[in-house]
Structure 1
Amino acid sequence: MSDEDISLDEKRVYADREGATTAFLATGAGVARVEVSADIVGEFALRERCTARDVVADDGRLAVATTEDVLVGTGEGFEATGFGPADAVGYHNGLLAAGEGRLARYEDGWETLAHVGDVRAIDGDMVAAADGIYRLDGTHVGLDAVDDVTTAGGPLAATATGLYYLANGWMTALEGAFRVVDSDGGRAHAATADALYEREAVDGEWAEIELPVEEAVAGVAYADATYVVTESGTFLANAGDGWRHRSLGLPAVAGVAVP
């Protein structure tokens, strides 16, 4: 089967090399690729010039929301999907995207699922938007002013008034103006403009952790280590012995993903 025979939402970048992890960043200059070995941040390069707003990875697949279109990663680079300008991307039973008030899934072409305005993030079957959390069918399921959502290990939502978890309704985990949240089902992190918090594995309590840079966190991702990227372009990695970091000099970083 040739690459042309594979549907857009099935294409994979197969990014990791032996002994290294490859992370992709969405930035104002484009999509950047960063090689990381344990907690050592190595080579990096701009792979696609664009204005990237979001990036997501799932099972070797990579998708990027840009001001022009949704791009999917291939072995050779990136391919346009014809969605148009997008604010957020995700994977749940296929490739998902949101932009200009439309939430859609790619199935031999884009199929509109619902109309949701000002979407900030998609994760699993949940959508974070300016006026709350939505399901993929457009059903509003609570909260307001949501900047980010993660569903692995149980839904968490970062909002302008606090970090929430879903139990018997949305419950407050931490108060504050949260902008980023991510989890791999075990590890979990959430960030405000000036602080990063980690959920303790033993008791599930949240605690602020100290980073070696005073920069706003733009995204968190996981592999063998925990990766954090800041809005001003610093990449940080922690493989269990503390944080190591490197400035990449990339502007307006919006997120990070590891295929």
Structure 2
Amino acid sequence: MAPAEDDISIEEKRVYAGTADRTDAYVATGNGVVRVALSADKVGAFDMVARDPARDVAVLPRDGDPDLVGIATADGLRVARVDDDPEFGRSAGDAAPAVAVGAHDGAFLVALEDGGIDRVAVGGGDAGPTAGVTRLGSVSEPRAVDGPLVAAADGVHRVTGSEGAGEDLALTAVGLDDARDVAGAGMPLAATGSGLYWLGNGWMTALEGTAEAVAADGDGHALAVVDGELLVHAGDASGAVAWDAETWRLADLPVDEEAVALGYGPGISVTVTAAGTLCVDAGDGWRHQVVGVRDVAGVALAVVE
């Protein structure tokens, strides 16, 4: 079993809480947002940075300005800068209850409880004001957003067009049914009630079973929860990446707990369990730390400059 982070000294944890080579994991929970400082596979300080119950979380990278972290709440999208003291202010977007949030093409994509999908652009060097809100369309029972993909009860939907290129943005249904989660980085992946799928010549079956969660880094690495088990897909240095069942293996997590939230950062993969344990792998096996949260709804990783 991999060593628990309880074995790391207080002095080490203080180092990892600094900004050098630090990645912050933002964990959305029913009690708020917990931020966990990571340095490779070392887990450092963690604290509650938002008290609003969060249904999802996403990080929006920006060139020249601080990256932003957005959380989906019952009062809409709340946004803060990625820094040592994030302050979440309400976006000027729709204040309707939000159930999921992602980042794509320089803006947040927000799925609302009523099915509406909004593109929320945030301008300026801070967390606001918003540069504009565009309604892209609507879906039935939205559940997750990642990159240009939206998972919903009526299948997978994709945002087409580009604001930066001056193209018309649209939301298009692209198939499947009962989508629970999606991964939009690199090869499109979808977790559904009947299995995990990848987009080849149409949607192709990767793994059969009830798939609840999926995440990818865009470089051939992916994590998925199928029938309650966490599976790992390793990238192929040759670039000839296959996605069928033989390319996935069971993850050797250091705790016997159900994985519910998955994410990737530079060189690391992160899993958060239903029992509130954060597990991180930087290539040498999983390490873990109990962070004491419940009702975990999502995790997103941000590089701290």
TM over 0.5: yes
Q: Does 1:232 align with 2:286?
A: no
Amino acid at match of 2:272: V
Q: What corresponds to 2:295 in structure 1? A: 252
Write out aligned runs for 1:56-75 (5 A). Answer: 56-59=58-61, 60-74=67-81, 75=83
Q: Does 1:78 align with 2:88?
A: yes
Q: Does 1:110 align with 2:140?
A: no
Q: 1:146 aligned to 179, 199, 221, which one?
A: 179
Q: 4+ runs of 1 displaced by more than 6 Å? A: none
Q: Is the 8 A contact 2:195 2:226 kept in 1?
A: no
- Residues 141-185 of structure 1, C-alpha deviation per residue, up to 9 Å, x if partnerless? 110111111121210000111000001110000101111111111
Q: Does 1:220 align with 2:262?
A: yes
Deviation (angstroms), 1:37: 1.9
Q: 1:192 aligned to 212, 223, 226, which one?
A: 226
Query: Which TM-score applies when normalising by structure 1?
Result: 0.89
Q: Does 1:121 align with 2:155?
A: no
Q: Is the 8 A contact 1:193 1:217 kept in 2?
A: no
- Residues 22-68 of structure 1, C-alpha deviation per residue, up to 9 Å, x if partnerless? 11010011011101122121211111101111111132221111122
Secondary structure at the counterpart of residue 254 of structure 1: strand
CA distance in 2, matches of 1:224, 1:45: 23
Amino acid at match of 2:74: T
Deviation (angstroms), 1:110: 2.5
How many percent identity over aligned positions? 43
Amino acid at match of 2:292: G
CA distance in 2, matches of 1:215, 1:19: 29
- Residues 221-243 of structure 1, C-alpha deviation per residue, up to 9 Å, x if partnerless? 22232111112211001122211
Q: Is the 8 A contact 1:160 1:177 kept in 2?
A: yes
Larger radius of gyration: 2
Q: What corresponds to 2:111 in structure 1? A: 98
Q: Does 1:158 align with 2:191?
A: yes
Query: Which TM-score applies when normalising by structure 2?
Result: 0.76
Amino acid at match of 1:240: G
Amino acid at match of 1:96: L
- Residues 180-238 of structure 1, C-alpha deviation per residue, up to 9 Å, x if partnerless? 11111121111125211111323631111221112221222222321111122110011
Q: Which runs of 5+ in 1 are unaligned?
A: 1-14
The alignment yields a C-alpha RMSD, in angstroms, of: 1.7
